[in-house]
Each structure stands twice: as structure tokens, then as C-alpha cells.
Amino acid sequence: MLQTKKWMLGLVAVATVLAALFALYTWAMLSWSYSSGERAGYVQKFSHKGWVCKTWEGELAMVNMPGTLSEKFFFTVRDEAVAQRINQSLGKRVSLTYEQHVGLPSTCLGDTEYFVTDIRVVE
């Protein structure tokens, strides 16, 4: 009986340490930015999606030269205020400020590794 209790306590201790390491790793990946920059174009798709963890996911069409095919930039927005500003600027040319976070352990934090932090309408 005593042996079983020691084994269970050891198992709980290992599980607690693993959970703490996972939380620390996730916090570090969200706090540390691999790269940052801006992309300009037209937001052509923007939706609030997810089963449990809902995030705003979007698609920016970047047109380099008139008459050429547009390149798509897929992005995630976690800040509700930024999401509302993007919704208000649909149909206008915008510049999105983003941070790239690589190595995130779950798509629950967003479908992409590019997190938009600000938006500016380009005239």
C-alpha cells in the first residue's frame, strides 16, 4: 500500500513538472518574436473560427504589380480591438503590422505563425 502511494505521488510530481514545462515553453514562444514586419494589400477573407479556442483568421491579398497574380498572406489576430479595426477596414488597402511566432505547440493559439498586432489604412 505504501509503495503504491509513493508511486502515485511520483507520477503526480512528474505530470506537474511536465505541465509546468509545457506552460513555460508556450509562454516563451508567445513572448519571443522570431521576426516582425509589415505587409500591405487587401484583406479578402477574415473570420472568427475554432471549436474551443476561437481566433480571428485572415487572408491578405498582396498585389505587387498591376496585372500580376496576387500573393496571399495568411494571418491570425488574437486581439479583439485589432480584429474590429480590420473588420471596419474591409475593402480598403491596408498595412498590417505582424509578429512571427514559430514553434507554438497548438493550433488553439492560431492557425498561422503570423500574429497581426496593428492595422493602418493606406490611402
Q: Give tens-digit pLDDT for 63-108.
A: 777 777 779 999 999 999 999 999 999 999 999 999 998 877 667 7
Burial of 101 (0-12, 13-18, 19+ CB in 10 A): buried
d(CA 60, CA 78): 16
Q: Name the residue among 50, 52, 43 with its Cα closest to residue 83.
A: 43
pLDDT band at 31 (very low <50, low <70, confident <90, very high): confident
Predicted TM-score (pTM) of the model is: 0.76
Q: What percent of the chain has pLDDT over 90?
A: 49
Q: Give tens-digit pLDDT for 16-27.
A: 888 888 778 777
Region 34-46: mean pLDDT is 93
pLDDT at residue 103, as a whole number: 75
